């Protein structure tokens, strides 16, 4: 039986980086208002960076999580695969509840094209579904579970960096404010830990899910 707190100790690289990200973000949010902070974080843009983040931001998409799930099943590692899927569903549910309960304008809606030159036509969203960032929640949840399951704990730094880049991509592309990605990270990792704890307490769930999947084939 895993001792309480051992999961954090064994994965201290990821969780230390995660806490540092939250702490630095919170400090930034306390100093800068939403719009000035958005401008400060978007001080530099270029064509290559636009292309990179336009592609890379999809790492936080639900389809990417499904792709990881299928890849892990192919590797005969169903446990992390199923947990990534359920973490995505749990965090996604929380994100959608908050988006509807607290409708907040996206950067393009609040700022407008006339005050910011880097919104991308037919890419940057408008509307009132800015808070929180679903891509960030998915990315951090997936990164947390991959960090927990990997045997080479130095890889956790890679997973953390991947999640951080997704979070920044949402700001760089003008889809979200820092407040939104901060909230997304706060949702993603706890969702992953809840799912991990449930599956840890009920190990036969993996076998049941795998059998049900085979029946559907």
Domain boundaries, the chain: 6-28+37-216
Taking 3-state DSSP, the helix, strand and coil percentages for the chain, each rounded to the nearest 5, stand at 75, 0, 25
**pLDDT at site 1:** 44
What pLDDT does 5 receive? 65
**Length of the chain, please?**
217
Q: Which residues contact 110 (CB under 8 A, 6 or more apart)?
A: 34, 35
Burial class (CB in 10 A: 0-12, 13-18, 19+), 157: middle
Cα separation, 73 vs 82, in Å, equals 9
Residues of the chain with pLDDT under 70: 1-5, 206-217
CATH number for domain 6-28+37-216, candidates 1.10.1060, 1.20.144, 1.25.40, 1.20.120: 1.20.144
Degrees to nearest 5, angle at CA 178 with 176 and 182: 105
Degrees, nearest 5: CA angle 163-164-166: 65
Q: How many CA atoms lie within 13 A of 1 on its CB side?
A: 4
- What is the per-residue pLDDT for 216? 43
CA distances from 151 to 11, 77, 157 (A): 10, 13, 13
Quick one: pLDDT at residue 208?
66
Burial per residue of 22-31, b for 16 or more beta-carbon CB atoms within 10 angstroms, e otherwise: eeebeeeeee
Residue 200: its pLDDT value, please?
87
Distance CA 161, CA 156 (A): 8
């Amino acid at each position: 039986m895993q001792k309480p707190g051992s999961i954090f100790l064994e994965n201290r690289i990821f969780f230390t980086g995660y806490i540092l990200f939250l702490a630095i973000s919170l400090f930034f949010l306390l100093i800068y208002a939403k719009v000035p902070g958005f401008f400060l974080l978007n001080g530099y843009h270029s064509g290559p960076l636009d292309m990179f983040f336009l592609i890379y931001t999809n790492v936080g998409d639900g389809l990417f999580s499904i792709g990881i799930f299928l890849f892990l099943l192919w590797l005969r590692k169903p446990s992390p695969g199923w947990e990534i899927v359920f973490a995505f569903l749990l965090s996604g549910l929380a994100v959608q509840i908050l988006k509807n309960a607290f409708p907040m304008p996206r950067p393009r809606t609040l700022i407008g094209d006339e005050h910011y030159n880097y919104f991308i036509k037919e890419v940057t969203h408008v509307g009132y579904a800015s808070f929180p960032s679903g891509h960030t929640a998915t990315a951090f949840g997936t990164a947390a579970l991959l960090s927990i399951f990997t045997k080479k704990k130095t890889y956790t730094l890679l997973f953390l960096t991947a999640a951080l880049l997704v979070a920044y991509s949402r700001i760089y592309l003008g889809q979200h404010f820092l407040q939104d990605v901060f909230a997304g990270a706060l949702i993603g990792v706890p969702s992953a830990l809840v799912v991990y704890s449930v599956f840890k307490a009920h190990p036969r769930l993996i076998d049941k899910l795998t059998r049900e999947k085979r029946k559907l084939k």
